[in-house]
Amino acid sequence: MRKDIDGFVEAHREELVRIACDLIAVNTENPPGRERLAVRVVGKYLDDLDIRYETFEKEPERTNIVARIGTGSPSLLVACHLDVVPAGDGWDNDPFKAMVVDGKIVGRGASDNKGQMAPCMILAKYLKEKESSLKGEFVLVGAADEERGSRLGLEYLLDECGLTADYAVIPDVSYAMRKIDVCEKGALFIEITSYGKQAHGSLPEQGVNAIWNMLELLNEIRSLPFKCISHPLFTPPTLNLGTIQGGAARNIVPGKCQAALDIRYLPGETKDEIADRIKGIIKKVEGANPQARFKLTIGSDLPPSEVSHGNPLIGLIQRHTQDVLGTRPELMGLSGTTVTKQLLQKGITAVGFGPGDEGQAHMANESIEIQQMVDFAKIMALVSCELLG
């Protein structure tokens, strides 16, 4: 099997590069998304291979594509996302005109996540040729809206479109296949509003400065204690002040100020416990400053997630990565979040694993090594055939 897979993937190396470049060439910056453009590229490829698929849209142009090969159980889902973050500044060339430079593909989405979708499409082509021998089902998803929370993408597919599987691999973890994401920190987003009283800037005593009061509160929150501060697979919990907005002009006492916090927390702690501690700090500041008034709102919360380390998918990935690359990927906890959280909530055994180098996603001149893409296709073909065959 290994020799057959190696020969197939190597024979389709140029096709893999072309697919990635074609996907990068369609601008799917989110917002606004327009993943329909990338779905056209994927759909045409699947049509040529006679691979069955469906498309799903919660909103116009925010298209998801779900392709299936084989039937029955077990089922393996591999999901990539087709949206990308805005290109931003600092590019040496057009970010949506992919270039091959020194064995790498350069362009927006090369590392996150179109460069991962391309080898998955080559994988689908290989499995289509072996479909009659498969005892289970391979499901390839090109999802929308991952960069903005997946409400129009994988969450929609899972909650409203009946998408399910026994196992899932999410190639949205850029550690060059050296690590497997088996657990992720909780992600809690909190907004705090400070209310004051607007007045003329020359008469600040007639108003209440919402920004000064907010700064007083944020200085207290900065030393927020966490109940759980260590975990064998995680770095410590973090607190980030992401935005602070307030005031209309420099000669007006601001009557309102808003701040947004990004809190990444460990298993063993809950959003309510963290929110209660922040409310306690708010009460303390309000008690010391009668003119201060605050409101706390939880924007969203994704609890910590963890998959059983003994599940067969992890063992297959480790063994076949060792076979192809000569290194055994280690288990890791992720400070960021992927859609493995939503999959695990639905009872699907999901891990993060894929090609790409950390530090490339969302950057100018984003790139991915072609050899990593080729190796990933080989590893996933071995995993898929053993799991489904």
CB within 8 Å of 277: residues ≥ 6 apart: 224, 225
How much of the chain, in percent, has pLDDT values that exceed 90?
98
Residue 37 confidence (pLDDT)? 98
Counting every residue, how long is the chain? Answer: 389
Q: What tens-digit pLDDT sequence spans the chain (389 residues)?
A: 899 999 999 999 999 999 999 999 999 999 999 999 999 999 999 999 999 999 999 999 999 999 999 999 999 999 999 999 999 999 999 999 999 999 999 999 999 999 999 999 999 999 999 999 999 999 999 999 999 999 999 999 999 999 999 999 999 998 999 999 999 999 999 999 999 999 999 999 999 999 999 999 999 999 999 999 999 999 999 999 999 999 999 999 999 999 999 999 999 999 999 999 999 999 999 999 999 999 999 999 999 999 999 999 999 999 999 999 999 999 999 998 899 999 999 999 999 999 999 989 999 999 999 999 999 999 999 999 999 98
Residue 174 confidence (pLDDT)? 85
CB within 8 Å of 155: residues ≥ 6 apart: 149, 339, 342
Domain boundary among 272, 302, 332: 302
One domain, residues 51 and 170: yes
Alpha carbon of residue 77 to chain centroid: 16
Contact predicate 381/123, CB 8 Å: yes
Cβ neighbours of 271 (radius 10 Å): 19
Residue 363 confidence (pLDDT)? 97
Strand partners, 298: 190
CA 219 to CA 234: how far, in whole Å?
26
Please report the DSSP string for 220-259 in residue order. Answer: HHTT---S---BTTBPPPEEEEEEEEE-S-TTEE-SEEEE
One domain, residues 168 and 247: no
CATH of the domain at 28: 3.40.630.10
One domain, residues 371 and 243: no
One domain, residues 330 and 221: no
E-assigned strands of 71-149?
Answer: 75-81, 99-101, 104-106, 137-143
Pairing type for strands 199-200 and 252-253 reads: antiparallel
Q: Which two tokens stand for residue 22?
A: 């074609």
Sign of CA dihedral 166, 322, 368, 148: positive
Number of structural domains the chain divides into: 2
CA 38 to CA 250: how far, in whole Å?
46
One domain, residues 289 and 322: no
Which H or E run contains 311? none
One domain, residues 191 and 293: yes
How many helices and strands, by DSSP H and E, does the chain display? 10, 18
Q: In what order do the strands lie in the sheet with 256-265?
A: 238-246, 256-265, 186-195, 293-302
Mark residue 97 as left, alpha or beta (left: phi above 0; alpha: psi -120 to 50; beta: remaining): beta
The range of the structural domain enclosing residue 253 comes to 186-302
Q: Which two tokens stand for residue 362?
A: 């969302």
One domain, residues 291 and 325: no
CB within 8 Å of 162: residues ≥ 6 apart: none
Burial of 190 (0-12, 13-18, 19+ CB in 10 A): buried
Domain boundary among 252, 270, 302: 302
Chain position carrying tokens 């891990």: 351
Chain position carrying tokens 């260590």: 230
pTM higher than 0.85: yes
One domain, residues 213 and 137: no
One domain, residues 17 and 125: yes
Strand partners, 143: 81
Domain boundary among 264, 280, 302: 302
Helical H segments across 68-193, by residue range: 114-129, 154-160
One domain, residues 20 and 69: yes
Strand partners, 69: 138
